[in-house]
């Protein structure tokens, strides 16, 4: 049983409300509108002095009508179950995805590029699903598997690894603007914020259906009251920045509620609702009243007193929510008409009304109602947005080039039929993200080579230079977190311990000298310094240097797509930082651990670990020659061993100068494109 609650007039469908061929009122009503606007402004100004006007305020909300362009915008139309199209090159098809891609390519005289070699594929898949390079044992196992199911078996092994959740949680935390401090001037630490990060990792590893993934993050405490793990999921809502020391509690409440509402719109619907907090959206069909109706789903939040933090879960403990208002010009001091919760009309084409489920929860139940609407199969945005995010991380760019903006100013999908097919397929698979991963990864499109393999590849680069049609695989630059993890993994230093409070490895001296006291207290357990990057402490006002130079996003807002820059500081970091040099020493130490002075074997091991392949004959010869020449130069300098970057640990049977030359060789490998880019 569901008990409906009163809602605003926006519960009507777009065809019943705000529908027309223009967003502007009829010229004959211009005088009336101008008068209404004046009354509206005055009402907002004197609202606190004229309580008797509350009954009429709803009549003076003038909202623009939907245009045909808005109603027919691709993102607001119902999701269609599209049949995969027929193609000429049917022998290239591995699953329906390939049909959608081939249909476009064949119109231009193109076809899919042949598959990359097996070593490239296992490296690609390992980084995509786990954020780590494959081990030597995994590579050999895959190369020896001649069965027709070898590729699918590899996908299953990587999906079942705990590293899968750690890899894909980072993508989600970017979107969720996660950090472990408040931000702003004082940037106070949030001691329990890490629990939300661990919840995301565990939810992904156990393949929590995406619709439940949404429900728990919006209303876990209402869905499963009394379950502390379910409540932790609502850390999504309060993961954004906050200023506990602000003088006016009402201003703080206003700012946080606006941020929660805007983030919810961007993350789950790809809609920039935040643009409407001060006025009707300039481009999208979202009125200011729409924004505050959406905000009222969260209005029951309970704020602590000044200088007290919000905590790591959404704080709501009352059954009856306080009244909500439209804030005139977005000013928290100017309350306008009273507002009731209502769904965004342009995305509510099936006239769903707000109903509050009857549960044992002591909360208002509004967030549960919002979650049910977002995960309804008829919602035009939710499933489209998430499959677009998955596609982006597997294929290098999204189908919709603006993953956080599906509005009228966002990019149109390059393959709209494929987007709808994926969205409907996700729902038909009970919203299983792992099932969607399988679908994408089993396609021939994903397995295409990224490097020149034949004349067809060169022809594709001329006709499709930006690779918008996926006429080949796109090369991807690894993120700073993945680079760090890979360097630790190939040097046998990565600590796979799971979860817990964010750890803090040492920072360069040039940074520590600028910090306030206790701003970055280095973790006392040395083993923690080698944890996976997702478990490193995330402070809003201080990014870990390696992540910073490799374009880690600002945690003050949702990031749907990281920028990819090429700067001198990236090269300097990989070549000169203490971390790079120490990790190169560890790699040299691991390779020489047996104490046998076999330089060709050392070079071979470095290539297999770092690049997942053996060196070519010319690479092997060049490596051996480098070790000999470099060790000779070091020996001539006659520097003491303590001043050299010898292997860690250094085997007593390994000559110190030769070992140091191997460290230099390992450092050079970390700086090659083959390490930084994924083919």
CA–CA distance, 232 with 642 (Å, rounded to integer): 49
The last residue of one of the domains, among 445, 474, 503, is: 474
Q: Average pLDDT in the 332-351 region?
A: 94
pLDDT in tens, 7-45: 333 333 344 435 433 333 343 333 333 334 433 333 333
E strand or H helix at 168: helix 162-175
106: helix, coil or strand? helix
Q: Is there a single domain that holds both residue 413 and residue 267?
A: no
Q: Is there a single domain that holds both residue 327 and residue 412?
A: no
Confidence of residue 57 (pLDDT cuts 50, 70, 90): very low
Terminal Cα distance for the chain, rounded: 53
The last residue of one of the domains, among 421, 450, 474, is: 474
Q: Is there a single domain that holds both residue 657 and residue 585?
A: yes
E strand or H helix at 326: strand 324-327
CA–CA distance, 111 with 444 (Å, rounded to integer): 11
SS3 assignment for 340-360: CCCCCHHHCCCCCCCEEECCC
Residue 132 lies in a domain: no
User: Domain range spanning residue 353?
Assistant: 2-72+209-374
Residue 640 lies in a domain: yes
Q: Is there a single domain that holds both residue 295 and residue 331?
A: yes
Q: Is there a single domain that holds both residue 98 and residue 67?
A: no
Q: In this predicted structure, what is the pLDDT of residue 595?
A: 80
Residue 119 lies in a domain: no
Residue 646 lies in a domain: yes
The tokens of 137 are what?
């044992």
Residue 654 lies in a domain: yes
Average pLDDT, the chain: 90
Q: Is there a single domain that holds both residue 355 and residue 413?
A: no
Residue 449 lies in a domain: yes
Q: Is there a single domain that holds both residue 335 and residue 435?
A: no
Which residue is associated with the tokens 């769903």?
Answer: 352
CA–CA distance, 342 with 9 (Å, rounded to integer): 8
Q: Average pLDDT in the 384-408 region?
A: 97
Q: Is there a single domain that holds both residue 321 and residue 232?
A: yes
Q: Is there a single domain that holds both residue 424 and residue 357?
A: no
Residue 568 lies in a domain: no
Q: Is there a single domain that holds both residue 26 and residue 81?
A: no
Q: Is there a single domain that holds both residue 25 and residue 79?
A: no
Per DSSP, the residues of 487-516 read HHHHTT--B----SSPB-----HHHHTTSP
Structurally, the chain folds into a number of domains equal to 3
Residue 104 lies in a domain: yes
**Buried b / exposed e across 220-232, counting CB within 10 Å, b at 16+?**
bbbbbeeeeebbb
CA–CA distance, 221 with 364 (Å, rounded to integer): 11
CA–CA distance, 461 with 443 (Å, rounded to integer): 21
Q: In this predicted structure, what is the pLDDT of residue 18?
A: 53
CA–CA distance, 300 with 316 (Å, rounded to integer): 6
Q: Average pLDDT in the 651-675 region?
A: 96
The last residue of one of the domains, among 474, 505, 531, is: 474
pLDDT in tens, 589-627: 999 998 888 999 999 999 999 999 999 999 999 999 999
pLDDT in tens, 292-306: 999 999 999 999 999
Q: In this predicted structure, what is the pLDDT of residue 509?
A: 86
Q: In this predicted structure, what is the pLDDT of residue 123?
A: 98
The number of beta carbons lying within 10 Å of the beta carbon of residue 529 is 18
Q: Is there a single domain that holds both residue 445 and residue 354?
A: no
Confidence of residue 512 (pLDDT cuts 50, 70, 90): confident
């Amino acid at each position: 049983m569901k008990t409906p609650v009163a809602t605003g007039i926006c519960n009507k469908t777009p065809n019943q409300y705000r529908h027309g061929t223009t967003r502007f009122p009829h010229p004959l009503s211009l005088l009336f509108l101008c008068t209404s606007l004046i009354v509206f402004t005055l009402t907002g100004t004197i609202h606190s002095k004229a309580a008797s006007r509350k009954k009429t305020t709803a009549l003076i909300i003038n909202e623009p009508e939907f245009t045909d362009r808005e109603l027919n915008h691709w993102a607001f139309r119902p999701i269609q179950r599209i049949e995969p199209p027929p193609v000429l090159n049917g022998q290239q098809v591995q699953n329906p995805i390939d049909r959608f891609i081939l249909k476009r390519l064949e119109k231009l005289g193109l076809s899919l590029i042949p598959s990359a070699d097996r070593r490239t594929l296992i490296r690609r898949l390992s980084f995509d699903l786990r954020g780590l390079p494959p081990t030597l044992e995994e590579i050999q196992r895959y190369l020896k598997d001649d069965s027709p199911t070898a590729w699918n078996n590899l996908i299953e092994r990587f999906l079942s690894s705990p590293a899968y959740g750690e890899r894909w949680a980072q993508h989600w935390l970017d979107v969720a603007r996660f950090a472990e401090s408040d931000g702003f001037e004082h940037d106070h630490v949030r001691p329990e914020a890490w629990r939300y990060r661990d919840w995301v990792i565990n939810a992904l590893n156990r393949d929590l259906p995406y619709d439940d993934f949404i429900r728990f993050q919006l209303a876990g405490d209402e869905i499963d009251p009394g379950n502390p793990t379910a409540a932790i999921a609502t850390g999504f809502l309060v993961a954004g920045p906050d200023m506990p020391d602000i003088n006016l509690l009402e201003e703080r409440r206003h700012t946080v509620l606006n941020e929660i509402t805007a983030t919810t719109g961007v993350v789950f619907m790809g809609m920039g609702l935040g643009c409407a907090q001060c006025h009707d959206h300039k481009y999208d069909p979202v009125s200011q009243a729409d924004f505050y109706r959406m905000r009222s789903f969260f209005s029951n939040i309970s704020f602590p007193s000044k200088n007290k933090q919000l905590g790591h879960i959404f704080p709501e403990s009352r059954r009856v929510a306080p009244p909500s208002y439209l804030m005139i010009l977005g000013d928290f001091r100017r309350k306008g008409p009273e507002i009731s919760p209502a769904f965004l009309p342009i995305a509510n084409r099936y006239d769903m009304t707000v109903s509050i489920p009857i549960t044992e929860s002591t909360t208002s139940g509004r967030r549960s109602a919002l979650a049910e609407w977002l995960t309804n199969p008829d919602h035009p945005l939710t499933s489209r947005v998430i499959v677009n995010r998955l596609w982006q991380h597997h294929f290098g760019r999204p189908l919709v080039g603006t993953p956080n903006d599906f509005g009228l100013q966002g990019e149109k999908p390059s393959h709209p039929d494929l987007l709808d097919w994926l969205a409907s397929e996700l729902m038909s698979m009970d919203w299983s993200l792992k099932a969607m991963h399988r679908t994408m990864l089993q396609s021939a499109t994903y397995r295409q080579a990224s490097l020149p393999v034949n004349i067809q590849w060169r022809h594709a680069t001329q006709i499709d230079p930006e690779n918008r049609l996926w006429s080949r695989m796109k090369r991807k630059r690894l993120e700073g977190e993945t680079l760090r993890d890979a360097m630790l993994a190939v040097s046998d230093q990565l600590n796979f311990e799971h979860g817990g409070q964010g750890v803090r490895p040492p920072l360069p001296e040039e940074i520590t000298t600028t910090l306030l006291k206790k701003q970055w207290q280095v973790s006392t357990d040395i083993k923690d310094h080698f944890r996976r990057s997702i478990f490193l402490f995330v402070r809003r006002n201080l990014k870990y240097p390696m992540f910073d130079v490799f374009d880690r996003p600002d945690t003050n807002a949702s990031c749907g797509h990281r920028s990819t820059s090429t700067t001198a500081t990236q090269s300097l970091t990989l070549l000169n930082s203490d971390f790079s040099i120490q990790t190169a020493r560890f790699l040299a130490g691991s390779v020489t651990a047996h104490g046998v002075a076999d330089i060709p074997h050392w070079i071979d091991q470095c290539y297999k670990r770092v690049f997942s392949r053996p060196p070519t004959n010319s690479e092997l010869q060049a490596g051996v020659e480098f070790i000999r020449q470099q060790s000779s130069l070091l020996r001539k300098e006659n520097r003491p061993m303590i001043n050299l970057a010898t292997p860690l640990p250094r085997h007593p049977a390994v000559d110190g100068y030769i070992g140091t030359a191997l460290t230099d060789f390992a450092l050079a490998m970390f700086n090659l494109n083959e390490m930084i880019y994924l083919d």
